[in-house]
Every structure is written in structure tokens, then in C-alpha cells.
Amino acid sequence: MSALRKLFELRRSLDAYETEMGFDQLSEVEKSVLAFIASKKDANITAITKDSYFAKFSLSTIKRAVGVLLAENIIEAKQSNNDKRSMILTVR
């Protein structure tokens, strides 16, 4: 039971941090995509979909989450220097 108590405390702390940063209005998938982008250099939609954490989400769900983050000016997309078809996603 203590493991579940610790899990809840982690969730409570995460919620407090997200609220403090102003990300509490985002959906869970949007928060997850944002965290991925912040933690990876050269993040793009392909990299997100290939990560095992995102296997439970469809490509359209991930694209929609990226679209929301772009529309809210939380992230930005720039064309990759290595692959002109790829857009590199970074946190603003």
C-alpha cells in the first residue's frame, strides 16, 4: 500500500508543478508531448510516435497535441537542417 501512497504523492507534486507553470489547462497527452519535447534534442513527431510511452496514442492524437502546443505558443517548429521534411519541435 505504501507504493500507492508514494505514487499519489508524486501525482500531487506533478499537479502542483504543472499548475505553477501554467500547464494545468493542457490535456494529459499534451503535457506528455510537451515533457518529451523539453527532454529530447531534435524532437519531432516521428520521434514522439517511436517512443514506447506514446504507443498507446494514435498518430492523430499526437499531431493534435502538437497542434495545440503550437497554437498556444508553448512550443515552436523549425525545419530540420538534416531532413527538410522534418520539423524540429522545441519549447519556447
pLDDT digits (tens, 9 = 90+) for 41-58: 989 999 999 999 999 999
Q: What is the pLDDT of residues 29-44, one digit of tens each?
A: 999 999 999 999 989 9
Name the β-bridge partners of 89: 43, 77
Query: Domain residues of the chain, as ranges?
Result: 26-91
Return the pLDDT at 84: 85
CATH code: domain 26-91 is 1.10.10.10
How far CA 56 is from CA of 17, 22, 68, 85, in Å, comes to: 25, 26, 19, 25
pLDDT for the residue numbered 88: 95
- Set of cell numbers at residue 47: 520521434
pLDDT at site 10: 95
Q: Could you report the per-residue pLDDT of 60-92, keeping only the tens digit for each? A: 999 999 999 999 999 999 998 888 888 999 999
Query: What is residue 1's predicted lDDT score, i.e. its pLDDT?
Result: 66
